[in-house]
Each structure stands twice: as structure tokens, then as C-alpha cells.
Chain A
Amino acid sequence: MAAVLSTVEALSLETAAARADTHNRSGRKGFFTDTTLCIGCKACEVACKQWNQLPDDGFLFTGMSYDNTVALGASTWRHVAFIERPIALSTQDAGAFSWLFSSDVCKHCARAGCLESCPTGAIIRTEFDSVYVQPDICNGCGYCVVNCPFGVIDRREDDGRAWKCTLCYDRLKDQMEPACAKACPTDSIKFGDLEELREIARTRVERLHENGLEEAYLYGADAAKQPGTEGLNAFFLLVDKPEAYNLPPDPVVPTKTVKETWASLAFAAVGLAAAAIGSVFVASRG
């Protein structure tokens, strides 16, 4: 009995801890990626691969502008998107053409679908408020892969575990900024305290609007802007629809609706029991 009780206690502690993972946090760190400053040099991609000692993904020629990286994945934690548009930016003098660059990364959502759906507790919220996959715990069930509304986390077949950006957890612990932000030559990738970054971002948008770039806006900067994820710790300044950058316009973390689905399972299970008992009694009558 004591064993059962202590197990129950341990489980409730775990549940509370899982909830606290998401709700109690201090020292929130994140990225502000200002895509208007990005020059598409891919130094962030290289710095990430080098620091984290990630393998290459093979060498492709995709024809998609200068993007031969294609997408974020298990061994690609920064990805620069190249968007060639037959439209001019509003500040442009000539030519119906503009070229947009954006360095994409794990968003470290305030409510993270991967974390909340992880059945092993391998995915945790760190002291820096980042979302981190513990490679020594992950058993490669693959459920996080279908719970990320941004298509970030992936399982590499030959490794068997899920991987994604760690916000350079090892560097943060030594008071260094993440490798991508360090390497960014234009400071398009800014790393810092989330509150400060938000302030910088707001000022930047105002400034751009003053200069005539009216299409500039913040993507996922806080819970008000993106209620489905309750805000992103890595947010963006964009100048086109999110879809142009392969970002979802209104992402919702699926765990937000899990209660109603459990309720419907309960109804269905009662229905199954009723059908079973009913049909057995009908059969035993005659």
C-alpha cells in the first residue's frame, strides 16, 4: 500500500512539475529575428552545424532561389529561407521584384506542443525558458513530430531520436550567446532577455513604419499576437504574409484542446460498455 501511495505521490509531483515546466519561469531568453536585416549569408546555419557538431544533410541543388537547405530538421537547426517575389517593397524605388531572407529556427513556444505531448518527459523547459530535448531520455516515439505546428522537430531514422534547436543550452550555461546569434554579421538574429527583445522589436517596427515600410509586423511576439502558442520565445519581424516564409498564419498547439477529446473518449467508452452489456443480455435472453 505504501508503495502504491508513494507511486501516486511521485506521479502527481511529476504532473505538477510538467505543468510548472510551462507556467513558472524566470530569466526568459529568446531570439528576435529581424528579417529586414538578413542578407542570406547562412553564417547562422554554418555556425550552428559547427558548434553543435551536426552532420551535413547531403548536398542538394533545389532550384529554390539560394535555398539548398530546404527545411529545418533533425540535423538542421537553422534554415535560411529565400523568397523571390515579383512585387516591390513599399520603400523600393524601381522594379517589381524583391528578395526576402529569413533565418528560421525552433520557436521555443511558451506553450510547446512537443513538450506537452512528449510521453517520456524527455522534452523539458530549461531555466532559460527554452525547450530542450534530452537525448539520453528520448525513446524516439515520434509523437512530438506530429505535435509541432511549425514542422520543426524531427526524428532522424538512423539515430532513432528526436532532435531540434537547443537554444545552445551548453553555451547559455557558460554565459555565451547561441552560436547563430554570435555569427550573424548584421545582427538580424538578436539574442537576449525576452522582455528587452520585445521592446527592441516594437521600436524597430515603429521605425520601419516611419521610414515607409508599412508592411513590417511582428510574428508571434506575445500571447496576444499568437494565442494558439501563447507567444514564441523566438519571434520574427516579417514583411510578407507568414505563408511566404512557410510559417503558419495562426498556429494552435494541439494540447490546448486535449480535454474535450478525452471527454469525447469517455462518452464513447461508456457507449461501448452499454453496447457490450446490451448485446450480451439480448443474446442470453432467447
Chain B
Amino acid sequence: MAISTDGRDIDTNLAELSGEGAAQKIERPDRHLQKIAPAPWERVPQVTPAETTYYERPLLKQSVWSADIPLYYFVGGAAGAALTLGAAMQLAARGRRRRELRALSAHCHWIGIIGSTAGAAFLIHDLGRPSRFLNMMRVFRPTSPMNMGAWILAGAAPTAIATGLLVNRRGLPGKLGEATGYASGVFGAALAGYTGVLVSNSVIPVWQPSRRWMPVLFIASAASSAASILDLFYENRTARRVTGVFGTASRLMEIAASRRVEHLASTVPQVGAPFRSGAPGVLWKAAGVLTATSVALSLLKRHRLAGVLGAAGSLALRFAVHSLGNASARDPRASFAQQRA
């Protein structure tokens, strides 16, 4: 007897496993069961016509992403904004502060290198089949922000690495490094914000209404985290002056854009519900408080503390976006109310 015990109950002496779903691998049926099992019921489940749902079951599937993805939003975003800032410094490095700005620009490029490679690692780790990562490069598909993101990352990481290795050298390599520095700045701006397109162009009710503002929020948050990293690790005067302006502007923009996103989502009350209750809502509010405190500390010249809180604020925001989306996907009424509105 060779009956398979993987939930198929097929006697492999008699039958061949060649169906469309035969290749589906089953290792942990219990974990799969946990995912689909409804919560134990206290009264007999019923469909009530007043507010129709199908036994409170979700309409949508929530994302299958682990913590890798919000972490990627954070490190990838910080890397992207740092690359853009680095390119701006290349551009401005003239006259009295040339040397300081060149040095700081190189630091920005290194933040970009570390962030984009770490980000790529998070992304690959989150895939169901990590070895097939390169399949992302089979197509070029603007309707898929995930696909465009792979191309953007494939532009940003190598140009950043080339810049880190070549810039400040003599002759042709130096010039090439200069050029890749500017190129990495362009890719960096896209890297900082495309994740906003990715999140808001999904069916998740809470993110759909803020399609136009999510990229702004993600870019502002990325800029804020890049400034926070500079605040944390680089103590020279030029760095302080740059982050004083860039950091404050981006943190204020982060707060403004997050208010806007929340407002747009709350147009239909049921859709905005996750903002007002539960752990995701608390995380979202904490992100706002952390970023606002970081602005105040930065104005009081407490740069290092401002950096800690600014980075924590951005990180909390990315996790809040992720968990608010999942909470929203679990609520069938959110989709129904949104589509009936």
C-alpha cells in the first residue's frame, strides 16, 4: 500500500500524480488549517439581512507578506532617499565646502549601497520561491508596481555600488563614478516611492482612496529616515545643516501626508475603521507622535535623539501601513461599504 498521506489519499500504485494541482507541496497542513479556520462561534452563525455579510467571513485575502516587507519599505526607502541626497551633494559640491560635501555625499552613497542590498535580501527572503527571484526580470510591466520595483532596484543597487567604488578616483573611473552617482540619484527617488504605488494599487479598501497620496507619504517617510540615519551617524557641521533643513521638511511632509491618507480613507467610515481601533491604529498614531517629537528635538539641536525618534517614526509608519492593510482586508464590510458608497 502506498497511499499518499499528504491530504490527497491517492494510491500511487494505481494513479499517477499529474493533475494541475499535483505539484502543490504539502508540508504543514495544520498551519494551513489555522489560516482558514474561522474563530470558534458562541452563537449559531447566521446571515442577517440587515447588514449582509457571509458569516462575517473576509471577502478579500489579506497579504501573505511577513515582516520582511515593511522592513524593506523602510531600508529600501531610506537607501533611495539617501542616494538622491548624495546626488544633490555631488551637484552642490563647489567652493568652500567642496571637500565636506564630497565626503558626506560618499556617506550617502554608502547608506544607499547598504540599504538597497539589505532591501533586496529582505525581498528575496519573503518570496515563496526565493531561488526564482530573477523571474521578476522576465517581463517589463508598468501595470505591476512589483515588477517596476524590481527594475528600479536593479538600477539603484548597481549604480550605487559603482559610485561607492569609483567616485573620487582619478581619470575615467572617477568620471564614470560621477555619472553613476547621478544615475543612482534618479533611481533612488523612484526606489523611495514606488512602494507607495505598490501598496495603494491593490484591492485593500483602506489604501485605495489614497492612491494619489501614498507615494508622497512613502517618499516623505523615506527622506525622513535617510535624514535620521545621517543625524545618528554623522556629526560634522555640514551634515547637521543639511539634515536640519532636509530632515525637518521631510518629517513635516510625512506628518501632513499621513493626515491626508487617513482623512481620505475615512471618507467611508467603515473603511477608515482600522485607524481608530486595535494595534494597527495605535502603531499609526505612535508613528505620528514619534515623528513630531523628532521635529521638535531637531529644532532644539538635539540631533542624535531626533535621529533615533525620526527613524523609529518611519519604521512604525511602515509597519502601521502593513498591518492596517491586513486589518482592512479581513473586514468584509469595508469593501462592501466602499463599493456601495
Binding site for B on A (CB under 8 A): 11-12, 14-15, 18, 51-58, 60, 62-65, 67, 70-71, 73-75, 77, 81, 83-87, 113, 116-122, 135, 137-143, 145-163, 166, 168-170, 240-241, 243-252, 254-255, 257-258, 260-262, 264-265, 267-273, 275-284, 286
Contacts and interface: CB of A to CB of B under 8 A. Distances in A.
Contacts of A139: 127-130, 132-133, 135-136
A65 B47 CA distance: 10
Contacts of A140: 127-129, 132
B159 interface: no
B49 A85 contact: yes
A139 B139 CA distance: 13
Nearest to A162: B128
Contacts, number: 375
B147 A119 contact: yes
B127 A262 contact: no
Given A54-B19, A283-B241, 13 more contacts: A53-B8, A56-B8, A58-B36, A60-B33, A63-B45, A116-B141, A120-B138, A122-B135, A146-B204, A160-B129, A244-B52, A272-B222, A284-B92
B128 A261 contact: no
Contacts of B28: 157-158
Contacts of B211: 257, 260-261, 264
Going nearest first, the 7 A-B pairs with the smallest beta carbon separation are A140-B128, A160-B128, A55-B7, A53-B19, A58-B33, A246-B54, A119-B147
B91 interface: yes
Interface string B111-132: 0000000000000001111101
Nearest to B92: A280
A119 B201 CA distance: 14
Nearest to A81: B54
B208 interface: yes
B128 A258 contact: no
B307 to A, nearest CB: 16
Given A169-B20, A246-B332, A269 B38 contact: no
A58 B61 contact: no
Interface stretch (B82-90, B165-173, B263-271, B297-305): B82-90
B85 A276 contact: yes
A268 B212 CA distance: 10
B65 interface: yes
B329 interface: yes
Nearest to B150: A119
Contacts of A121: 135, 138-139, 141
A272 B203 contact: no
Contact of B339 (A84, A159, A250, A268): A250
A261 B215 contact: yes
A120 B246 CA distance: 37
B25 A158 contact: yes
B71 to A, nearest CB: 15
Nearest to B33: A58
Contacts of A281: 92
B190 interface: yes
Contacts of A142: 63-65, 126, 128
